[in-house]
Structure 1
Amino acid sequence: MSYKHANKPDTYAITHDTDIGYDLQTSLIISDQTGQPLAPVAQRLVSSEGSFATYQEANPQPIVQNHLDEVSDCIQFLDGQGFAKPLVHLIDREGDSIGHIRRWEATGSHWLVRVKDNPKVDYQAKPMACKAVAQELAFSKTREVRYQGQTYWQWVAETDVTLTRPAKPSQKKSKKPAVPGIPVAARLVVSRVLSDEGDVLAEWLLLTNVKDVDASTIALWYYWRWQIECFFKLVKSAGHHLESWQQESAMAIAKRLLVASMACVTVWAIAADKSKEASELRLFLIKLSGRQMRHKKEFTNPALLSGLWVFLSMLEIMDAYSQEELDSLKATAQQFLGKDM
């Protein structure tokens, strides 16, 4: 989150001297059956004064230097919350860290990580890069998916691998030795999106310790993970415009962010619902928003968010005023706006 406002004294340089703001981490729960959002379940905001998280004490905690260490703390917290179903933690390529994977494995967490091309795994008793292993596999045609606005087929392959390489801590501030660890048995699931001509449009190399779910479903889960980008777009730029907020501290931003995040998840769920009732609600919210839609475009998530805000305000007014009071206010307004109001 980039903030260059002078009224926020607790911002800090996140990655370099001109990258000023707060660091934000959000964990969302989505359905394993539909991919639809259920709720934001954890958030953490880091300022120069420390870390504010929904899973820690009220006072700010010291800044965690390694982002994945903080992610691991969040995973451990969520696994201890007693949800009705076990959680599978989906993490992008940042999670391709054998040291942290070993930590998740040791605590019994279920994880699904997109990995980079080059790190090696043991395949058929010899070390090979994940990309090279993928070239050895036989793929099966699974389902049609949307990719960059078009419909293509998803192809999936899998194999068992073992992670034996040592962990390599960050070398940014000082040289650190590699850290050996116990082998980790995992599944390498490779998901490809192919054109009708057979060209590879996208490829995801996925490692997971989830054993009792077929590879096609694993690939689908990660495909759904990409849909959460609409959540962050609503929060940051196209809806709430997070980086324009004027609150003067990380704590104030964090409190407002909790409410805004739930609103964004609600809009995401309304947008994804295929029922007739949800379609009618979307049309109603678009009308309330006052937004113009492009030709053949039923709705946009920012317009739904805007319409939802108007609708909630209407409901609050209807609870606060009787029908007689509203009729009286309407008659008064007609004196100023004309009889055709």
Structure 2
Amino acid sequence: MTLFEQHQLPCILESRLSKRYQTLIMEHMTVNSSNAPGVKSLRHHTQSWASTQATWRFYHNEDVTFPMLSGPMLGLARSGVKESQSRYVLMAYDWCHINFAKHHSKLDKTKMSHALDVGYELQASLLVDANTGAPIAPAGLNLLTSNGIYQCRSQELQPKQSHLDSLFDSIHWQEQLHLDKPLVHVVDREADSAKDLRRLGSVHWLTRTKKGSTFRHEGQFKTAEIISRTISPDLKGVISLRGKEGYLFVGETTVELHRKSEKLASAAPTCRFVMSLVTDDEGKELARWYLLSNVLDVDATEIATWYCHRWNIESWFKLLKSDGHQLEKWQQTTAESILKRLITASVATTLIFKLYSDSLDEANEFKGFLVKLSGRLTKRTKPVTQPSLLAGLWVFLQMCEVLDTYTMDEINAMRQIASSFFAQSV
């Protein structure tokens, strides 16, 4: 049974394209070095140049569209949500700059924060298990260019939008996916707008607000920082935050989504205001969050824990960039090709996260085997990491390809050649 059959990876491409796409996904199950940004060849040990040409033809095929490439990714999202034991599923959002300042062949780059920060801006939506915090699969990828926005759900280039307008479009589209469980859309301070939060209506959301943002509390307009002083947070237990453990304190109250500068014709809706504090063993503050949410049927501690889980989208970005696929070194010359390859890499990373979260004995044994193959040094406290699984899986796939391509007699003959070569050099 192949990796695709094992995870019931759906393929909606034409039959003449599906095998190439499956090969491309497997070729992205590897950790690239910064000086090897191209696609590594796997199938039948073809030369890297031939594999690169085949990849170029695939991405420039007019039948290969964003929605078609996204089919397996959304299929993994649906199956992952169905397998989740949590009542809700989190949809975490974040933006990531992809710097291509030194890539002069890319003519559709856009200026992001400053003159040297030039490239594309990626807005990603990642499904996260509400109980464990484990990433399930991406459910949306948008790429901002100088010409407009490319979206994984549409082949047409979309006009530029503000972050919030793009975010709300993504939320409304993902609500119509009709996944097996209700979504809670988790956003950082980007969504700190009372007016825009009211636009979401009955959609479940969770966001962090700035300490200086004002809300109506107990009949008066107060800042989030002042509101938090009226709350006495209780110790709820130990929580993992960015790889470190800390003590979680949580308290809550109710506020109205009404800013002091606004004049409303009717009463503003209310929402929960959750103050979350994380400290170390010595009482030093590690994090303090002022959270807003309209999810009413869970404990405030769960709300705080959900926001901690949002940070796992950073691990996904890291696997795409510095610790995995070296995204900022890719040589494709257009944002359209970059997004197509990004969708392909996202399917590969989704399968890696799925394997990483699998706690069955057989999976644990396989993960230990892959870490050995990877040659990576890992901490005793964390013997398995996603980059080590990526690196080890690539070696294993190459081993399988060798066994499928060569007979044992041919392998033993080459082994004799290698042995004689090393014997001469000693």
TM-score bracket for the superposition, by shorter chain length: 0.7 to 0.9
CA distance in 1, matches of 2:313, 2:362: 23
Are 1:92 and 2:188 matched, yes or no?
yes
CA distance in 2, matches of 1:332, 1:181: 84
What residue number does 1:171 align with? none
Whichever residue aligns with residue 129 of structure 1, its letter is: T
Whichever residue aligns with residue 12 of structure 1, its letter is: T
Are 1:217 and 2:298 matched, yes or no?
no
**3-state SS of paired residue (1:109):** coil
CA contact (8 A) 1:44 1:54 kept: yes
Q: CA deviation at 1:338?
A: 1.7
The match for 2:362 among 272, 277, 283 is 277
What residue number does 1:27 align with? 125
Q: CA deviation at 1:38?
A: 1.2
Are 1:70 and 2:166 matched, yes or no?
yes
Higher deviation after alignment, 21-30 or 178-187: 178-187
CA contact (8 A) 1:55 1:77 kept: no
What residue number does 2:157 align with? 60
The match for 1:48 among 138, 146, 169 is 146
Are 1:80 and 2:199 matched, yes or no?
no
CA distance in 1, matches of 2:341, 2:415: 37
CA distance in 2, matches of 1:266, 1:287: 19
> Which deviations, in whole Å up to 9, do the C-alpha atoms of 1:112-144 show, x marking residues without a partner?
001110101111111111111111112122121
CA distance in 2, matches of 1:83, 1:166: 38
CA contact (8 A) 1:165 1:180 kept: no
> Which deviations, in whole Å up to 9, do the C-alpha atoms of 1:183-238 show, x marking residues without a partner?
13110111111233444321111100111111111111111111221111111111
Where in structure 1 do 4 or more consecutive aligned residues deviate above 6 Å?
none
> Which deviations, in whole Å up to 9, do the C-alpha atoms of 1:140-166 show, x marking residues without a partner?
221211346543211111111101117
TM-score w.r.t. the length of structure 2 is 0.71
TM-score w.r.t. the length of structure 1 is 0.87
**3-state SS of paired residue (1:238):** coil
CA contact (8 A) 2:198 2:257 kept: no
CA contact (8 A) 2:215 2:260 kept: no
> Which deviations, in whole Å up to 9, do the C-alpha atoms of 1:80-127 show, x marking residues without a partner?
11111111000011111223212212xx31110011101011111111
The match for 2:416 among 304, 327, 335 is 335
Gaps in structure 2 of 5+ consecutive residues:
1-97
Whichever residue aligns with residue 149 of structure 2, its letter is: S
CA distance in 2, matches of 1:85, 1:334: 53
CA contact (8 A) 1:141 1:154 kept: yes
How many pairs were matched up?
A: 323
CA contact (8 A) 2:205 2:295 kept: yes
Are 1:139 and 2:233 matched, yes or no?
yes
* Residue 85 to residue 149, structure 1, CA distance change in 2 (3 Å): closer
CA contact (8 A) 2:214 2:259 kept: yes
CA distance in 2, matches of 1:18, 1:339: 53
Whichever residue aligns with residue 122 of structure 2, its letter is: L
* Residue 68 to residue 312, structure 1, CA distance change in 2 (3 Å): farther
**3-state SS of paired residue (2:178):** coil
CA contact (8 A) 2:100 2:328 kept: yes
CA distance in 2, matches of 1:146, 1:84: 28
Whichever residue aligns with residue 190 of structure 2, its letter is: E
CA distance in 2, matches of 1:149, 1:261: 23
What residue number does 1:122 align with? 216
Are 1:152 and 2:246 matched, yes or no?
yes
* Aligned sequence identity (%): 37
CA distance in 2, matches of 1:305, 1:187: 40
* Residue 312 to residue 331, structure 1, CA distance change in 2 (3 Å): closer
Q: CA deviation at 1:181?
A: 7.2
Gaps in structure 1 of 5+ consecutive residues:
168-177
Are 1:9 and 2:107 matched, yes or no?
yes
CA distance in 2, matches of 1:226, 1:154: 16
Whichever residue aligns with residue 92 of structure 1, its letter is: D
CA contact (8 A) 1:166 1:181 kept: no
CA contact (8 A) 1:95 1:113 kept: yes
Whichever residue aligns with residue 96 of structure 1, its letter is: D
CA distance in 1, matches of 2:153, 2:274: 32
Alignment of 1:227-306 (within 5 A): 227-293=312-378, 297-306=382-391
Q: CA deviation at 1:310?
A: 2.3
CA distance in 1, matches of 2:127, 2:243: 25
Higher deviation after alignment, 116-125 or 150-159: 150-159
CA distance in 2, matches of 1:146, 1:37: 15
Whichever residue aligns with residue 220 of structure 1, its letter is: T
Q: CA deviation at 1:12?
A: 1.5
CA contact (8 A) 1:98 1:166 kept: no
CA distance in 2, matches of 1:155, 1:139: 5
CA distance in 2, matches of 1:196, 1:181: 49
CA distance in 1, matches of 2:420, 2:381: 35
What residue number does 2:47 align with? none
CA distance in 1, matches of 2:265, 2:258: 7
What residue number does 1:172 align with? none
